[in-house]
Structure 1
Amino acid sequence: MTGTSAHSTSTASDGRSTRWNGHKARRRADMLDAALAVIEANGTEISVQQIADRLKVPRPVVYRHFDGRADLDEQIRRHILDSLLAELLPRLRPDGTVRDAVRGAVGTYVGWVERHPNLHRFLAAGDPHGASGSALAGARDRIGAQLADLFADVLGGFGLDPNRARPTAFGMVGFVDGVVNSWRADGVLTSEQVEGILTESVLALLEGNARSLEVPMTRDTVVAELVARSVAAHTA
């Protein structure tokens, strides 16, 4: 009886702990959603009080869920990047031609930045000297790694060193990020112009590398056909 009672008590305690942890996670997510709404409405200089006011809770309640202001800002950046990656990563599983794939991914990123300028500025403000925060670096790694895997599969299929894929993929990510940051800083060009410049530049980079490696790819190549040819070449 004693053992059964102890087990029941432990199970009940574990259940309460799980529910409490779930409640804390939901409250934390609510606070991050509120922070993004405040940034969208008011700009990057936000206070904890503004987040608390939006949630109609005392300011200490917000701090209770984070390890100080630096942790709060980092978690806000992670939340912003999660919303961006939710739109962008699916576009890195390309359909159609190479041109379609590049235009789709670039257009998604440029469009997101144009719709959410304050969120983008908040990310940039967290990286004032080019030293990426962990959230920003993690997002670049995820995007670069997904592109690198795609490139590596094609190169490997044609009997080429797949290690060439990673620097190309991460170089493209850095280039696109740099152009977009410059555009948002000066605001001279339209989003359509920036999208066009980036699309043409990335396509030129891909075509140039393909020619140098004798990979049968141009901007009008259907991606699925390119992958199929690389698989066929690998198994021949």
Structure 2
Amino acid sequence: MPGSGSGYRARWEEHNSARQLMILRAAVELLEETPPGTRIPVQRIAERAGLAKSVVYRRFGDRDDLDRRIRSYLVDDFASVLSAKLDISHGSVEEILGRSIDTVAGWMSEHPRLHDFMRQGPTHYDDAGVDAVSSLRGRIALRAREVIGAFLASFDLDDGGLESLPLAIVTMVEGMLTQWVRDPAPGRTRPEIVADLTAYAWFMLDGAARSLGLVIDPATELRTVVERMTRGVTV
């Protein structure tokens, strides 16, 4: 029958994809339940996924491949969640920064074992020496640069001189939150550390904006800022 071969392949690929997702989710669940640094046997992952151990090895080349795919899954999942928080269509600069940083703080404090696992290795074979957290920082910084670039484009400005700014902010936020999460008796609550980091991130953004001749009120709705500035109205 015409198309029956391609239809079969599509169903098989969908079946494989579904099983891979089951395995990855099972591994993540076990990571959440297991003390940091403990290597979870593939047999336990297979049992949690409701599959035979041999099925896991058919989906993944070896244990190293499985671990890389788990990290890649975590990076993709978290990056998609944070990308939504970086939406500049609503909220002031303070609100956008605050909700983005709060998302990172919430995930890191609620999933410390996943964060620790991501630090233990890369997401892909061609990322030797680059752990998953570094890959995640790069993904977030790239998304942030896209957001900044779109904002500056509203005023016919180029972000060429600010290439390193997003990564600098993301690295600062992730580094400070890592220390905060690991501190057995942190001196700041989550709202307090988020407020601190929001202020620091704004200082960096404000300095960069002023270097381009832009003075922005961080408490004003960003869409309003753009509308006023494009009309030549002082914000």
TM over 0.5: yes
Alignment of 1:65-80 (within 5 A): 65-80=59-74
Please give the per-residue CA displacement for 1:21-80, whole angstroms capped at 9, x wherever unaligned. 111110000000100110111144222122012123332221111011111011101111
Q: Which residue number in structure 2 is paired with residue 48 of structure 1? A: 42
Q: Which residue number in structure 1 is paired with residue 125 of structure 2? A: none
**2:110 paired with 1:115:** yes
More helix by share: 1
Q: Paired residue for 1:150, among 147, 151, 160?
A: 147
Structure 1 contact 98–221 (Cα < 8 Å) conserved: yes
Q: Which residue number in structure 1 is paired with residue 98 of structure 2? A: 103
Whichever of the two has the greater Rg, that structure is: 1
Counterpart Cα distance in 1 of 2:194 and 2:114: 19
RMSD over aligned CA atoms reads: 2.3
Shift of 1:151: 1.5
Q: Which residue number in structure 1 is paired with residue 177 of structure 2? A: 180
Q: In 2 relative to 1, CA 82–137 (structure 1 residues): closer, same or farther, beyond 3 Å?
A: same
Shift of 1:138: 4.6
Structure 2 contact 119–133 (Cα < 8 Å) conserved: no
Q: Which residue number in structure 2 is paired with residue 4 of structure 1? A: none
Counterpart Cα distance in 2 of 1:14 and 1:138: 35
Alignment of 1:83-232 (within 5 A): 83-94=77-88, 95-126=90-121, 131-133=129-131, 136-189=133-186, 190-232=189-231
Q: In 2 relative to 1, CA 33–160 (structure 1 residues): closer, same or farther, beyond 3 Å?
A: same
Name the stretch that deviates more: 48-57 or 32-41.
48-57
Question: Structure 1: which 5+ residue stretches go unaligned?
Answer: 1-7
Structure 2 contact 93–218 (Cα < 8 Å) conserved: yes
Counterpart Cα distance in 2 of 1:210 and 1:17: 52
Please give the per-residue CA displacement for 1:164-197, whole angstroms capped at 9, x wherever unaligned. 2332112111211222223333344243333222
Question: Which secondary structure does the structure 2 equivalent of 1:22 belong to?
Answer: helix
Shift of 1:100: 0.8
Q: What is the number of equivalent residue pairs in this alignment?
A: 222
